[in-house]
């Protein structure tokens, strides 16, 4: 027989005001197994806790039931007290007679009766409680960063500085991301490359950071602290160790038809190319779709001119598997496709460009060396029209319902950049609303209007007609209700931002969710903005939603702090209330494996003795590190072989019985 101690708390008058403590005590004493019943004004106080500790030691109690407030309040307190008295903390049971009894009932008789029933149920459960010991799992002291843009670089640098190893996986041949393509940054107009490239170099030279460029995530297995990630390193066709980055091969390559991804198609590149001069690593890659050697078998010029013999046409994709404790996802964003916006002839007319193309056109390292010229004829434009909200805040199937957040600011920046270089160019900005919350943001936008003379027009452009060598822009000024026609030379479209097309696929590999717009969902929009619902996986940057650079960097450092916090623990304690399999009963149907939301149940083959012979048998196996203890599998199991520790079938049934007495 168990030796159970029952401790009834008065909670001042909170409980004692509505519940007759003496009656509860008398009833408790009569329950079989109960050997000690005490009461106190405040059981959670130090005196109260000492009362419990002493009783455990003196009365040799092996179960403790505390009738007090909600377990959500003080279960941890009482478990700790029991532990310090040498009792396994999971042998403590709480009867919630405050929140769920004395506070909601006024009739003293009824409340007392209910309190007794709740104590009875808690004793019934406690009788069947078993000692539980939480398991420990190790944490691999290494982090993975998916995406090598500013978000990925910042997170990696922060984690590396804290002393942990970080690997960055970048899909393209160089890290840098969208920020590398940008000319100037708002609201300070400082040069984007000047602040980014030193960070890129830091990342590549940091002893704790390892780059996997031109690589993708192939598969992810494991769980928090112990992820196992398979990385596909796509064949570069260039040996990165031998290559010195001299650039002879890229100069000599006879195929120059491919459009440069970095310059948004405004410049051609060779089949063997370095994406941009400051690329990290500064190693070329062969585009096998374009390369003559791969297409026709003839050529191989790059191989002949390479002074270090680094060209390797027969290179193949390699798969690397690596263990990680934490993963940070920072895959960034793209601009939406404008093919369906027929009213703005983006696909037909070279002078209609996107904002990202504009960045390349004004960049000193861009295709025009920073001279702002019309792509169609190389002349300097006289009138430039900017159209905001192209596809943003758009409920139709062509666009995105959300605000892309960054366009108002970069459009003001673009307008200013034009006016600064060429004050004589007329600049018009069509907007629906100008949204500039942020430090020095509104001042910046107003400067464009007040100092630089940019014409802001509230209204939209209905249609852009190419006419002669001009673009006739039909718009409206909604404030004066006048329709306008502007003979523009160039039209710049602020295309909406969108999540990466493969975000969902990556989300599936990582078991993290995406929202209706394919942005990754954070665990809580306010209180857990950089965590995901999967423990050990964090989010940084625009893959979680549209963001500007300062916000991205802030979120990246936050994600890094979370990852460092996890890696720093070294060991994780898991919840001991996990599922367990009775291998004798398990029939091996494995219905539980399909139900488990954490994929914590797998199959295993065991040897059992059956009629004197040893036979092999397939049974379910619970990974205690993965199991979160929901108990759903216990109901799925037809044989009843699964049970949840801490909430066993017989414990809950005992509670039901006790309540129904």
Tokens of 564: 């460092």
Restricted to residues 191-230, the positions that interact with another protein (CB under 8 A) are none
User: For residues 344 and 464, is the Cβ–Cβ distance under 8 A?
Assistant: yes
Asked if 133 touches another protein (CB under 8 A), the answer is no
Q: Is 229 helix (H, G, I), strand (E, B) or coil?
A: strand
Q: Give the x-and-dash track for 528-567 against another protein (CB under 8 A).
A: -----x----------------------------------
User: For residues 540 and 329, is the Cβ–Cβ distance under 8 A?
Assistant: yes
Asked if 189 touches another protein (CB under 8 A), the answer is no
Q: Which stretch binds another protein (CB under 8 A): 110-118, 239-247, 289-297, 601-609?
A: 110-118
Q: Give the x-and-dash track for 574-593 against another protein (CB under 8 A).
A: ---x----------------
| 408 φ, ψ (degrees, to nearest 5) | -55, -45
| DSSP single-letter state for residue 402 | S
44's CB contacts (< 8 A; 6+ apart) are: 9, 68, 69, 73, 74, 77, 78
Asked if 644 touches another protein (CB under 8 A), the answer is yes
CA–CA dist 657, 661 (Å, integer): 6
Asked if 111 touches another protein (CB under 8 A), the answer is yes
Contacting residue, 121, 160, 175, 407, with another protein by CB under 8 A: 121
Identity of the residue, 454 or 464, whose beta carbon is nearer to another protein in the bound complex: 464
Q: Which stretch binds another protein (CB under 8 A): 107-115, 320-328, 412-420, 521-529?
A: 107-115
CA–CA dist 461, 474 (Å, integer): 6
SS (H, E, C) 599-612: CCEEEEEEEEEECC
224's CB contacts (< 8 A; 6+ apart) are: 139, 325, 326, 534, 535, 536, 537, 566, 572
How far is the CA of 228 from the CAs of 200, 221, 223, 637, in angstroms?
Answer: 26, 5, 8, 30
Contacting residue, 1, 133, 614, 660, with another protein by CB under 8 A: 660
Position of tokens 């377990």? Answer: 71
Identity of the residue, 187 or 475, whose beta carbon is nearer to another protein in the bound complex: 475
Contacting residue, 42, 103, 313, 452, with another protein by CB under 8 A: 103
Identity of the residue, 70 or 260, whose beta carbon is nearer to another protein in the bound complex: 70
Restricted to residues 432-461, the positions that interact with another protein (CB under 8 A) are 432-433, 458-461
Identity of the residue, 99 or 218, whose beta carbon is nearer to another protein in the bound complex: 99
Closest CA to 559 of 332, 327, 226: 327
Contacting residue, 110, 131, 450, 451, with another protein by CB under 8 A: 110
Contacting residue, 20, 99, 216, 334, with another protein by CB under 8 A: 99
Identity of the residue, 190 or 657, whose beta carbon is nearer to another protein in the bound complex: 657
Through-space distance between the first and last CA atoms of the chain, rounded to whole angstroms? 21
Q: Which stretch binds another protein (CB under 8 A): 290-298, 302-310, 543-551, 629-637?
A: 629-637
Contacting residue, 128, 299, 373, 652, with another protein by CB under 8 A: 652
Half-sphere exposure of 572 (CA within 13 A, CB side): 21
Asked if 76 touches another protein (CB under 8 A), the answer is no
Minimum CB–partner distance for residue 110 and another protein (Å) = 4
Asked if 614 touches another protein (CB under 8 A), the answer is no
Q: Give the x-and-dash track for 324-363 against another protein (CB under 8 A).
A: -------------------x--------------------
Identity of the residue, 246 or 460, whose beta carbon is nearer to another protein in the bound complex: 460
Number of chain positions touching another protein (CB under 8 A): 67
User: For residues 331 and 148, is the Cβ–Cβ distance under 8 A?
Assistant: no
b/e sequence 417-454, b meaning 16+ C-beta within 10 Å: bbbeeeeebbbbbbbeebbbebeebbebbeebeeebeb
CA–CA dist 403, 509 (Å, integer): 28
Closest CA to 262 of 332, 403, 155, 359: 359
Tokens of 372: 């702002």
Contacting residue, 16, 51, 118, 503, with another protein by CB under 8 A: 118
Minimum CB–partner distance for residue 31 and another protein (Å) = 14
Packing angle, helices 355-362 and 407-421, rounded to 10: 30
Identity of the residue, 39 or 113, whose beta carbon is nearer to another protein in the bound complex: 113
Minimum CB–partner distance for residue 493 and another protein (Å) = 13
Position of tokens 């960034």? Answer: 332
Restricted to residues 591-610, the positions that interact with another protein (CB under 8 A) are 595, 597-598
Contacting residue, 46, 58, 86, 106, with another protein by CB under 8 A: 106
613's CB contacts (< 8 A; 6+ apart) are: none
Q: Is 108 exposed, middle or buried (0-12, 13-18, 19+ CB in 10 A)?
A: middle
Q: Give the x-and-dash track for 394-423 against another protein (CB under 8 A).
A: xxx--x------------------------
Contacting residue, 74, 114, 184, 547, with another protein by CB under 8 A: 114
Tokens of 55: 């009783």
Asked if 71 touches another protein (CB under 8 A), the answer is yes
Contacting residue, 194, 219, 585, 659, with another protein by CB under 8 A: 659
Q: Is 494 exposed, middle or buried (0-12, 13-18, 19+ CB in 10 A)?
A: buried
Identity of the residue, 60 or 528, whose beta carbon is nearer to another protein in the bound complex: 528
Tokens of 347: 């696909």
CA–CA dist 332, 546 (Å, integer): 9
Q: Give the x-and-dash track for 478-517 against another protein (CB under 8 A).
A: x--x-x----------------------------------
Asked if 244 touches another protein (CB under 8 A), the answer is no
Contacting residue, 30, 256, 304, 463, with another protein by CB under 8 A: 463
Identity of the residue, 194 or 585, whose beta carbon is nearer to another protein in the bound complex: 585
Q: Which stretch binds another protein (CB under 8 A): 115-123, 174-182, 258-266, 281-289?
A: 115-123
The β-bridge partners of 304 are: none
Tokens of 99: 């929140």
Chain contacts with another protein (rule: CB under 8 A)? 70-72, 96, 98-101, 103-107, 110-111, 113-114, 117-118, 121, 343, 389, 391, 393-396, 399, 432-433, 458-463, 474-478, 481, 483, 533, 577, 595, 597-598, 628-632, 634-636, 644, 647, 649, 652-653, 655-657, 659-661
């Amino acid at each position: 027989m168990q030796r159970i101690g029952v401790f009834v708390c008065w909670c001042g008058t909170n409980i004692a005001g509505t519940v007759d403590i003496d009656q509860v005590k008398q009833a408790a004493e009569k329950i079989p197994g109960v050997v000690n019943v005490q009461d106190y004004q405040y059981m959670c106080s130090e005196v109260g806790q000492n009362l419990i500790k002493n009783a455990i030691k003196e009365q040799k109690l092996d179960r403790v039931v505390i009738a007090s407030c909600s377990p959500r309040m003080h279960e941890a307190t009482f478990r700790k007290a029991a532990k310090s008295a040498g009792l396994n903390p999971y042998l403590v049971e709480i009867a919630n007679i405050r929140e769920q009894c004395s506070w909601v009932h006024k009739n003293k008789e009824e409340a007392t009766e209910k309190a007794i029933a709740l104590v009875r149920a808690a004793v019934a459960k406690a009788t069947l409680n078993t000692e539980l010991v939480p398991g420990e799992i190790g944490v691999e002291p290494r982090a993975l960063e998916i995406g090598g843009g500013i978000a990925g670089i910042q997170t990696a640098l922060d984690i590396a500085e804290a002393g942990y190893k970080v690997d960055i996986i970048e899909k393209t041949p160089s890290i840098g991301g969208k920020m590398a393509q940008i000319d100037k940054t708002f609201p300070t107009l400082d040069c984007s490359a000047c602040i980014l490239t030193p960070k890129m170099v830091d990342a590549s030279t940091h002893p704790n950071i390892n780059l996997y460029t031109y690589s993708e995530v192939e598969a992810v297995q494991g769980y928090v602290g112990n992820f196992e990630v398979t990385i596909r390193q796509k064949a570069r066709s260039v040996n990165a160790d031998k290559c010195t980055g001299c650039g002879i091969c890229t100069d000599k390559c006879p195929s120059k038809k491919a459009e440069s991804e970095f310059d948004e198609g405004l410049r051609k590149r060779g089949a063997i190319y370095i994406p941009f001069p400051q690329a990290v690593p500064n190693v070329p890659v062969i585009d096998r779709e374009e390369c003559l050697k791969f297409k026709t078998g003839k050529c191989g010029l790059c191989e002949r001119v390479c002074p270090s013999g680094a060209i390797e046409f027969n290179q193949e994709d390699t798969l690397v598997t690596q263990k990680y404790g934490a993963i940070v996802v920072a895959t960034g964003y793209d601009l939406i496709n404008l093919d369906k916006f027929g009213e703005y002839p983006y696909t037909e007319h070279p002078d209609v460009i996107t904002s990202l193309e504009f960045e390349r056109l004004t960049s000193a390292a861009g295709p025009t060396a920073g001279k702002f010229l019309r792509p169609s004829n190389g002349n300097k434009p006289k009138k430039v029209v900017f159209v905001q909200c192209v596809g943003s805040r758009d409920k139709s199937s062509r666009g995105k319902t959300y605000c892309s957040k960054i366009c108002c600011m970069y459009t003001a920046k673009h307008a200013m950049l034009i006016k600064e270089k060429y004050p004589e160019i007329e600049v018009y900005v069509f907007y629906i609303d100008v949204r500039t919350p942020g430090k020095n943001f509104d001042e910046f936008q107003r400067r464009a209007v007040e100092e630089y003379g940019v014409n802001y027009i509230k209204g939209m452009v209905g249609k852009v007609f190419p006419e002669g060598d001009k673009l006739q822009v039909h718009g409206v000024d909604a404030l004066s209700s006048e329709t306008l026609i502007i003979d523009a030379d160039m039209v710049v479209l602020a295309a909406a931002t969108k999540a990466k097309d493969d975000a969902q696929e990556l989300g599936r590999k990582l078991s993290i969710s995406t929202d209706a717009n394919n942005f990754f969902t954070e665990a809580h929009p306010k209180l857990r903005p950089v965590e995901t619902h999967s423990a050990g996986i964090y989010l940084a940057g625009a893959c979680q939603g549209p963001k500007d650079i300062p916000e991205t960097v802030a979120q990246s450092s936050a994600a890094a702090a979370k990852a460092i916090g996890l890696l720093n623990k070294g060991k994780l304690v898991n919840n001991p209330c996990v599922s367990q399999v009775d291998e004798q009963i398990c029939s091996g149907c494995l219905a539980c494996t399909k139900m488990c939301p954490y994929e914590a149940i797998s199959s295993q083959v065991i040897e059992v003795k059956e009629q004197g012979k040893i036979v092999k048998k397939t049974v379910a196996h619970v990974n205690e590190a993965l199991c979160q203890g929901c108990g759903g599998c216990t109901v799925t199991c037809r044989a009843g072989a699964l049970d949840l520790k801490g909430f066993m079938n017989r414990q809950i049934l005992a509670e039901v019985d006790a309540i129904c007495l």
